[in-house]
């Protein structure tokens, strides 16, 4: 599944394309005819700031569902309220083009102008009932004269992918930023992992504009309205800015507990990184078992810093390429070599 802000299909921005995998999945796929399924969104015009997540099975039917967020969508008279469309994976078939304007199973939207709902999308099965929760950021949410940002949890279940409504009516849990211009829930996907190894799922949220990442232990025990100051661990970056713009959870040291990767690319846009950034980006691995209380970048167990101003850490990821049972670290630098871009793999 690949997303693009820029690709157009008959004049409409294409939100993503789906290539069906299998033994024949190799070679070059250079044009639109090669895509098995295409998605567009004719509802909102220009799709700047879209996010796509195709990893969650919200209704628990065994098919991953596709969540599409457009944080710049205007809803009624609410400019940039933001909207999220979710399509049931079971409804997709090869050869079709889908339009998030009408082909959604669930559609929900921000309930305030400039709340930018859909700016980040993530989730997973928080409560272990077999249905993935959708966790969606609205970093522009304004409360008590401050832009604090909200992050909403929409519980998965057999009836979640049906209908539409304001997220204020649909969400079961809401996280709130604590101070002015936190913009909790910007860009970085809300990330699940079991960092302390107690078999209870923990939740990581981010506020990259203030270089701060929050960890909430045992996320299934949380409900209602939770302020970021209630986090069990608060990690603040002191190196390159936009600390927390990217997140990844995986086990790098092989102790069975997830560790946390945090990227700090020093720029919030992948375009013109050399213009916006003024120092090399970085990526940090924090040993999951150390995540409690107040922490800083220097508490990381592994730090990667680029040697050029290239947005390193704009995306971070992990995968076990050599099959030794622990993740390797993948770090993207979209601004490398005049925006040619580079992806590194490290065996930390
Ligand atoms: Ca599904
Ligand atoms: Ca669940
Ligand atoms: Ca845990
Ligand atoms: Ca670990």
Expressed in angstroms and rounded, the spacing between residue 156 Cα and the centre of ligand 1 is: 10
Residue range 41-60: average pLDDT? 77
- Under the banding of pLDDT at 50, 70 and 90, the label for residue 36 is confident
Ligand index nearest the alpha carbon of residue 60 = 1
Q: What is the pLDDT, as a whole number, of residue 49?
A: 61
CA geometry: angle 311, 312, 313, nearest 5 deg: 105
Residue 236 or 14, more confident: 236
Query: Could you give the CA distance from residue 252 to residue 181 in angstroms, rounded to a whole number?
Result: 33
Expressed in angstroms and rounded, the spacing between residue 160 Cα and the centre of ligand 4 is: 33
Residue range 64-111, pLDDT digits in tens: 999 999 888 888 899 999 999 999 999 988 888 888 888 899 999 999
Residue range 156-211, pLDDT digits in tens: 999 999 989 999 999 999 999 998 999 999 999 999 999 999 999 999 999 999 99
The residues placing their C-beta within 5 Å of ligand 3, an ion, are 194, 196, 198, 200, 202
The residues placing their C-beta within 5 Å of ligand 4, an ion, are 251, 253, 255, 257, 259, 288
Ligand index nearest the alpha carbon of residue 66 = 1
Residue range 250-278, pLDDT digits in tens: 999 999 999 999 999 999 988 788 889 99
| Residue 348 clears pLDDT 50, i.e. is over it | yes
Query: Could you give the CA distance from residue 36 to residue 244 in angstroms, rounded to a whole number?
Result: 34
Ligand index nearest the alpha carbon of residue 125 = 2
- Phi and psi dihedrals of 321, rounded to 5? -75, -35
Q: 249 with 222: CB under 8 angstroms?
A: no
- C-alpha torsion 91→92→96→99, nearest 10: 70
CB neighbour list of residue 337: distance below 8 Å, 6 or more residues apart: 310
CB neighbour list of residue 334: distance below 8 Å, 6 or more residues apart: 270, 273, 310, 311, 314, 315, 341
Query: Could you give the CA distance from residue 225 to residue 228 in angstroms, rounded to a whole number?
Result: 10
The predicted model scores a pTM of: 0.93
Q: What is the pLDDT, as a whole number, of residue 199?
A: 95
Ligand index nearest the alpha carbon of residue 220 = 2
| Residue 12 clears pLDDT 70, i.e. is over it | no
Ligand index nearest the alpha carbon of residue 257 = 4
Ligand index nearest the alpha carbon of residue 124 = 2
Q: 96 with 123: CB under 8 angstroms?
A: no
β-pairing, 212-216 vs 202-207, is: antiparallel
- Under the banding of pLDDT at 50, 70 and 90, the label for residue 9 is very low
Expressed in angstroms and rounded, the spacing between residue 195 Cα and the centre of ligand 3 is: 5
CA-wise closest residue to 311 among 348, 263, 347 = 263
- Under the banding of pLDDT at 50, 70 and 90, the label for residue 3 is low
Expressed in angstroms and rounded, the spacing between residue 13 Cα and the centre of ligand 1 is: 25
CA-wise closest residue to 81 among 90, 89, 93, 72 = 72
Q: Which H helix or E strand runs over 42?
A: none
Q: 154 with 160: CB under 8 angstroms?
A: yes
Query: Could you give the CA distance from residue 132 to residue 258 in angstroms, rounded to a whole number?
Result: 19
């Amino acid at each position: 599944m690949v997303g693009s802000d820029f690709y157009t299909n008959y004049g409409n921005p294409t939100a993503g394309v789906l290539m069906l995998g299998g033994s024949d999945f190799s070679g070059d796929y250079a044009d639109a005819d090669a895509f098995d399924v295409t998605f567009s969104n004719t509802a909102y015009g220009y799709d700047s700031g879209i996010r796509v997540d195709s990893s969650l099975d919200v209704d628990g039917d065994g098919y991953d569902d596709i969540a599409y967020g457009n944080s710049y969508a205007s809803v009624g008279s609410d400019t940039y309220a933001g909207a999220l469309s979710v399509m049931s994976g079971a409804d997709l078939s090869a050869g079709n083009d889908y339009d998030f304007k009408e082909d959604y199973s669930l559609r929900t939207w921000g309930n305030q102008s400039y709340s930018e709902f859909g700016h980040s999308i993530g989730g997973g099965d928080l409560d272990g009932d077999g249905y993935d929760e959708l966790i969606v950021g609205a970093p522009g949410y304004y409360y008590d004269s401050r832009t604090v940002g909200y992050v909403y949890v929409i519980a998965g279940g057999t009836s979640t992918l049906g209908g539409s409504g304001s997220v204020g009516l649909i969400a079961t849990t809401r996280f709130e930023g604590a101070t002015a211009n936190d913009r909790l829930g910007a860009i970085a996907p809300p990330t699940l992992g079991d960092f302390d190894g107690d078999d209870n799922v923990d939740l990581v949220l981010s506020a990259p504009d203030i270089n701060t990442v929050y960890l909430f232990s045992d996320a299934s025990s949380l409900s209602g309205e939770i302020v970021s100051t209630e986090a069990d661990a608060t990690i603040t970056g002191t190196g390159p800015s936009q600390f927390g713009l990217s997140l990844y959870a995986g086990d790098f040291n092989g102790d069975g507990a997830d560790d946390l990767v945090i990227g700090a690319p020093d720029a919030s846009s992948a375009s013109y990184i050399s213009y916006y950034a003024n120092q090399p980006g970085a990526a940090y691995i924090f040993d999951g078992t150390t995540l409690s209380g107040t922490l800083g970048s220097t508490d990381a167990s592994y730090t990667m810093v680029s040697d050029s101003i290239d947005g390193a850490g704009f995306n971070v990821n992990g995968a076990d390429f050599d099959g030794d049972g622990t993740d390797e670290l993948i770090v993207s630098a979209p601004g490398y070599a005049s925006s040619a871009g580079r992806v590194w793999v490290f065996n930390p």
